[in-house]
Structure 1
Amino acid sequence: MTILDKIVERKHVEVREAKAKISIEELSQYPLFNRTCYSLKESILDSRRTGIISEYKRASPSKGIINDTNSVSEVVKGYQDAGASAISVLTDADFFQGSLDDLKAARAVLTIPLLRKEFIVDKYQIAEAKAYGADIILLIAACLSTEEVKELSFYAKSLGLNVLLEVHNEEELNRNLFETIDAIGVNNRNLKDFTVSLSHSYDLVDKIPNSYIKISESGISDPVTIRDLKKAGYHSFLIGETFMKTTDPGKALVEFIKEI
C-alpha cells in the first residue's frame, strides 16, 4: 500500500466521522459559506503579482516536521504582502499536521484566493472548504475516477468555488478535461513514492489546453526554474517547502521574488 493509498483510506474514515457530527446543511449555515470567492484566474493573471501560490505546510510524510513554529496567520499574511497570487493551506491532520482551523485563520487575514490543500474524496469536504473560507479546492486525479472528478468539480462550481485539478501524467490529464475545471496543476512529486522531477511539468505543458490556467507544483526551489517554467508556458507555481523551511517564510518569498 502506497502513502497515497493510506491517506485516501484515512480520508474516507474522516469524512464518515465528520458527517456524523455536522451535516452539509449545517455547514451551509456557517458565516463564510455564502461569501463570494475570489477568482483564481484573475489573481494569477494580475501583472502586479507573481503567479506564485505559496503554501503553509507544517509537515509532510516524506520530510516530517518542516516548520511548526510560525503561525499560519503570520506566514500567509507575509506571503500576501510579498506578492503571492494565492495561498495554499494544508488541512490534513494525520499526515501534514494541518486543520480546518488553519484555513479559517488564513481567510481572516487574506484578500487573495485561498486553496484548501486536501485529499478530497467526497463532496462533504468541498462543503467544508466553502464553510471555512476557501476559494479553491484541489482534486487529485491520482486518487479519483474520471466520474468522481466530473461530479466533484460540478459540485464545487455550484458553490462558486474555483477548481484546481492535479495531474501527474498524460493519461490523468486527458481523461479529466472538463469545463468545470479552472486550472490544471502538474505535480512534479510522485504521490506514490514522493520522488520529484520537473520533467513532468515540461513534458505536459503543451498538452494542457490553453483554456486552463497552467500550474507547476512542487520541487521548485530556484528562481531560475520559475523563469524557465514561464518560458515553457506556465502561469503559476505552487511552492511550499522552499519557504516553510526558513525561519521567516514571508521574507524568504520576498528574497526569492527579487531573483526571478
Structure 2
Amino acid sequence: MTILDKIIAFKKKEVAKIKAEVSVKKLVESPNFKNTSFSLKKSLLDPYSTGIIAEFKRQSPSKGIINDKVSISEVTEGYLEANVAAQSILTDTSFFGGTIADLLEARIINQQKPILRKDFIVDGFQIVEAKAIGADVILLIATCLTSEELKNYGQLAKDLGLEVLYEVHTQEDLDKISDLDDKIIGINNRNLKTFEVDLEHSIKLASQIPDSTIKVSESGISDPRIITGLKEYGFQGFLIGENFMKTENPGLACQEFISQIR
C-alpha cells in the first residue's frame, strides 16, 4: 500500500464522518457561499501575472515538519505583498497539518487573489465545503479518481462557480480527463506513489496537452531559472510551497524569488 493509498482510504473515512455531522444545507447557508469567486484562469493569463501559486504547507508525508512556526495570516500577507498569482492552502490535517480554519483565516485577509483548496477530493461534499470556506479553486487529482468522478466533480465545481485545477502525473491520468480544452491542467513533478521529483517529467507530458489549456507545473521548483525554462514549454502557472515554507519568512522568500524571474 502506497502513502497515497493510505491517504485516500483515510480521507474517505474522514469525509463520511464529517458528512454525518455537517449538513449540505448548513454549508450552503454559510456567508462565504455567496462570494463571487476570483478566477485562477484570469489571474494566470494576466499579461503582468507572476504565474506563482504560493502554497501554505506546514508538513508533508515525505518531508515531515516543514514549518510549524509561521502563522497563516503573516504568510498570506507576505504572499500578497509579493504579488502572487494565487494562494494554495493545504486543508488536510492528518498528513499535511493543514486545517479548514487556515483557509477561512486567509480568505479574510486575501480579498483580491484566488485561493486554491489543496486537498484530496474523494466526495462531492468536499466541493460544496470548499465553496463554503471561501475557496475559489479546487484540486482534482486524476490518479485518485475515475474519469466519471473527474467529470462529475468538475461539473459540480463549475455549477458552484468554482474553478478546477486538474492534477496529472502520467499519460494515463491525462487520458481520464474528458475534453482538455480550456481546462487548467497541473502536472505534478512529484510521483505521488514514490514522492520522487522529476522536472523533466513535466516537460515530456506538456507536449501531450493542447495549447488551449492553461498548464501549471507543480512541485520541486526551487530556482527562478526553472520558471524561465518551463515558460518556453508553455507553462503559465507554477505551484511552489516547500521552497518558501522552509524559510523563516515565506512571504519574503517568495518576494525575492519573484523579483528574480522578471
Same fold (TM over 0.5): yes
Range that drifts further, 203-212 or 51-60 = 203-212
Counting only pairs closer than 5 Å after superposition, residues 119-158 of structure 1 correspond to structure 2 as: 119-158=120-159
CA contact (8 A) 1:153 1:181 kept: no
Deviation at 1:59, TM superposition (A): 0.3
The equivalent residue for 1:13 is 13
The equivalent residue for 1:189 is 190
Runs of 4+ in 1 over 6 A off after TM superposition: none
Range that drifts further, 45-54 or 239-248 = 45-54
Counting only pairs closer than 5 Å after superposition, residues 230-245 of structure 1 correspond to structure 2 as: 230-245=231-246
The AA in structure 1 aligned to 2:75 is V
Deviation at 1:175, TM superposition (A): 2.2
Q: Kindly indicate whether residue 252 of structure 2 is the aligned counterpart of residue 259 of structure 1.
A: no
Query: Structure 1 pair 181/161, CA: closer, same or farther in 2 (3 Å)?
Result: farther
CA contact (8 A) 2:139 2:164 kept: yes
The equivalent residue for 2:66 is 66
Counting only pairs closer than 5 Å after superposition, residues 1-260 of structure 1 correspond to structure 2 as: 1-110=1-110, 111-178=112-179, 182-260=183-261
Range that drifts further, 85-94 or 18-27 = 18-27
CA contact (8 A) 2:180 2:210 kept: no
Aligned partners of 1:73 and 1:210: how far apart in 2? Answer: 36
Deviation at 1:179, TM superposition (A): 6.4
Deviation at 1:244, TM superposition (A): 0.2
CA contact (8 A) 1:202 1:232 kept: yes
CA contact (8 A) 1:138 1:164 kept: yes
Structure 2: 5+ residue stretches without partners: none
Structure 1: 5+ residue stretches without partners: none
CA contact (8 A) 1:168 1:187 kept: yes
Deviation at 1:47, TM superposition (A): 2.4
Deviation at 1:218, TM superposition (A): 0.2
Aligned length in residues = 260
Aligned partners of 1:201 and 1:219: how far apart in 2? Answer: 11
Q: Describe the SS at the equivalent of 1:32.
A: helix
Aligned partners of 2:182 and 2:194: how far apart in 1? Answer: 26
CA displacement 1:101-159 (0-9 Å, x = unmatched): 01101111111000000000000000110000000000000100100101110111000
Aligned partners of 1:140 and 1:163: how far apart in 2? Answer: 10
Aligned partners of 1:180 and 1:9: how far apart in 2? Answer: 31
The AA in structure 1 aligned to 2:109 is V
Question: What percentage of aligned pairs have identical amino acids?
Answer: 55
The AA in structure 1 aligned to 2:126 is Q
Q: Describe the SS at the equivalent of 1:27.
A: helix
Query: Structure 1 pair 135/78, CA: closer, same or farther in 2 (3 Å)?
Result: same
Range that drifts further, 216-225 or 178-187 = 178-187
Deviation at 1:178, TM superposition (A): 3.5
The AA in structure 2 aligned to 1:244 is M
CA contact (8 A) 1:38 1:113 kept: yes
- Root-mean-square deviation (Å): 1.2
Structure 2 length-normalised TM: 0.97
Aligned partners of 2:219 and 2:120: how far apart in 1? Answer: 16
Query: Structure 1 pair 4/76, CA: closer, same or farther in 2 (3 Å)?
Result: same
The AA in structure 2 aligned to 1:19 is K
